[in-house]
Amino acid sequence: MAIEIWHNSRCSKSRNAFNYLKDKNIEFEVKEYLKNPPTLQELQNVLAKLGMKPSELIRSKESIYKELNLKEASEDELLEAMVQNPKLIERPIIINEDKAVVARPLENIEKVF
């Protein structure tokens, strides 16, 4: 199994998911997506695994969302905004092969196993 967590260590929800995986002795790789942003293709792949549209994964309360005036943006524009500004990507995301979840609430992690 190749478990991956898209992690932001400054986020308590992300730290909780990280610790949850560690506590369960699950081997996983960490993608610090703020330091190493996903490509357009990577983000599209994760959205497909999540079964979500960009508008469902974007953090609309972030100041950059308002600064970029994304309220009326198309799905493609939102996708591009998330690639250019990874802070807009909801976190944490847990990926297990062809499945992925946003670990909010934390119990969502079990859905990828």
Active site residues: 11
Question: How many angstroms separate the CA atoms of 113 and 111, rounded?
Answer: 6
The encoded tokens of residue 2 equal 């190749």
96's CB contacts (< 8 A; 6+ apart) are 1, 2, 3, 4, 112, 113
Strands annotated E in the chain: 3-6, 28-31, 93-96, 99-102
